[in-house]
Chains A and B, each alone.
Chain A
Amino acid sequence: MSGDLALQTPPLTWLDVGAAAEVPYQGARRVETDKGAIAVFRTVDNDYYAVMDKCPHKGGPLSEGIVHGRHIACPLHNWSFSLETGEAVGADAGKGCTPTVPLKIENARIFLGLR
Chain B
Amino acid sequence: MAFHSEPVAKPRIVVIGAGMAGGRIVEEILKRDDRMFDISIIGAESCATYDRIQLSPVLAGEKTFEQIVTHSQDWYDLNGVKTHFGSWVQGIDREARRVVLHDGQTIAYDCLILATGSDPIRLPLPGADLSGVVAFRDLHDVDLMQKAAEAGGEAVVIGGGLLGLEAAYGLAKRGMKATVIHLVDVLMERQLDAAAGRLLEKALAERGVSAVLNAQSEAILGETHVEGLKLKDGRVIPASLLVMAVGIRPHVEPAKSAGLTVERGIVVDDQMRTSDPFIFAVGECVQHRGQCYGLVAPIWDMCRTLADVLTGKNPQAAYLGSELATRLKVSGVDLYSAGQFNGGDGCEDIVFRDPARGVYKRIVIKNDQLVGAVLFGEAADGGWYFDLIKKGESIGEIRDTLIFGQAVTEALAGVDPNAAVAAWPDDTEVCGCNGVSKGTVVAAISGGADTLDKVRGCTKASASCGSCTGIVEQLLKVTLGDAFKAQTGPKPMCKCTHHGHAVVRQAIVEQALKTIPDVMQALKWETPDGCSSCRPALNYYLLCAWPREYQDDPRSRFVNERNHANIQKDGTYSVVPRMWGGVTSARELRAIADVVDKFNLPMVKVTGGQRLDIFGVKKEDLPAVWADLNAAGMVSGHAYAKALRTVKTCVGSEWCRFGTQDSTGLGIRLEQDTWGSWMPHKFKMAVSGCPRNCAEATIKDFGVICVDSGYELHVGGNGGIHLRGTDLLCKVATEAEAREYSMAFVQFYREDAWYLERTAPWIERVGLEAIKARLFDEEARKALMARFLESQAVFQVDPWAEHAPQSEPAKVFSPLADLRSEKKEIAR
Across the interface, do A59 and B571 meet the contact criterion of CB distance under 8 Å?
yes
B817 interface residue, CB < 8 Å from A? yes
Shortest beta-carbon distance, A80 to chain B, in Å?
7
Mask: chain B, 145-188; 1 = CB below 8 Å from A; 0 = not:
00000000000000000000000000000000000000111100
Across the interface, do A44 and B571 meet the contact criterion of CB distance under 8 Å?
no
B657 interface residue, CB < 8 Å from A? no
Closest A-B pairs by Cβ, 5 of them:
A29-B816, A73-B532, A75-B559, A66-B532, A26-B555
Mask: chain A, 1-40; 1 = CB below 8 Å from B; 0 = not:
0000000000000011111011111110111111001001
Across the interface, do B347 and A26 meet the contact criterion of CB distance under 8 Å?
no
Shortest beta-carbon distance, A95 to chain B, in Å?
17
Residues of B within 8 Å of A102, CB to CB, are none
Across the interface, do A58 and B816 meet the contact criterion of CB distance under 8 Å?
no
A92 interface residue, CB < 8 Å from B? no
Shortest beta-carbon distance, B578 to chain A, in Å?
24
**Which single member of A19, A30, A34, A71 contacts B821 (CB below 8 Å)?**
A34
Shortest beta-carbon distance, A74 to chain B, in Å?
9
A70 interface residue, CB < 8 Å from B? yes
Residues of A within 8 Å of B346, CB to CB, are 84-85
Residues of A within 8 Å of B532, CB to CB, are 65-66, 68, 73, 78, 80
Across the interface, do A64 and B816 meet the contact criterion of CB distance under 8 Å?
no
Residues of B within 8 Å of A64, CB to CB, are 559, 562-563, 567, 571
**Which single member of A21, A45, A76 contacts B193 (CB below 8 Å)?**
A45
Mask: chain A, 66-90; 1 = CB below 8 Å from B; 0 = not:
1111110101101010001100000
A96 interface residue, CB < 8 Å from B? no
A99 interface residue, CB < 8 Å from B? no
Given A24-B812, A30-B816, A75-B558, A18 and B827 contact (CB-CB distance below 8 Å) = yes
Give CA–CA (A110, B815) in the complex, Å.
14
A61 interface residue, CB < 8 Å from B? yes
Across the interface, do B828 and A19 meet the contact criterion of CB distance under 8 Å?
yes
Number of A-B contacts (CB under 8 A): 125
B residues adjacent to A (C-beta < 8 A): 183-186, 189-190, 193-194, 341-342, 344-347, 349, 527-532, 535-536, 554-559, 562-563, 567, 569-571, 812, 815-821, 823, 826-828
Across the interface, do A69 and B529 meet the contact criterion of CB distance under 8 Å?
yes
**Which single member of A17, A27, A70 contacts B555 (CB below 8 Å)?**
A27
Across the interface, do A75 and B531 meet the contact criterion of CB distance under 8 Å?
no
**Which single member of B193, B194, B819 contacts A34 (CB below 8 Å)?**
B819
Given A17-B819, A34-B820, A44-B528, A66 and B556 contact (CB-CB distance below 8 Å) = yes
Across the interface, do A30 and B815 meet the contact criterion of CB distance under 8 Å?
yes
Across the interface, do B193 and A44 meet the contact criterion of CB distance under 8 Å?
yes
**Which single member of A24, A25, A31, A84 contacts B344 (CB below 8 Å)?**
A84
Across the interface, do A40 and B816 meet the contact criterion of CB distance under 8 Å?
yes
Across the interface, do A66 and B536 meet the contact criterion of CB distance under 8 Å?
yes
Q: How large is the interface on A (under 10, 10 to 19, 20 to 34, 35 or more residues)?
A: 35 or more
Shortest beta-carbon distance, A64 to chain B, in Å?
4
Residues of A within 8 Å of B812, CB to CB, are 24, 27, 29
Residues of A within 8 Å of B344, CB to CB, are 84
- B553's nearest neighbour on chain A, judged by CB, is A26
Mask: chain A, 82-115; 1 = CB below 8 Å from B; 0 = not:
0011000000000000000000000000100010
Residues of A within 8 Å of B828, CB to CB, are 18-19
Give CA–CA (A74, B759) in the complex, Å.
27
- B571's nearest neighbour on chain A, judged by CB, is A61
Across the interface, do B342 and A43 meet the contact criterion of CB distance under 8 Å?
yes
Across the interface, do A26 and B186 meet the contact criterion of CB distance under 8 Å?
no
Shortest beta-carbon distance, B227 to chain A, in Å?
27
Across the interface, do A31 and B817 meet the contact criterion of CB distance under 8 Å?
yes
Shortest beta-carbon distance, B345 to chain A, in Å?
5
Residues of A within 8 Å of B530, CB to CB, are 68
14 residue pairs from A and B, CB less than 8 Å apart? A18-B816, A19-B828, A21-B183, A22-B827, A23-B816, A25-B184, A26-B555, A30-B816, A32-B823, A44-B528, A45-B194, A65-B532, A68-B529, A84-B346
Residues of B within 8 Å of A32, CB to CB, are 815, 817-820, 823
Give CA–CA (A49, B220) in the complex, Å.
35
Give CA–CA (A24, B554) in the complex, Å.
10
- B496's nearest neighbour on chain A, judged by CB, is A68
Given A30-B815, A32-B818, A33-B819, A66 and B535 contact (CB-CB distance below 8 Å) = yes
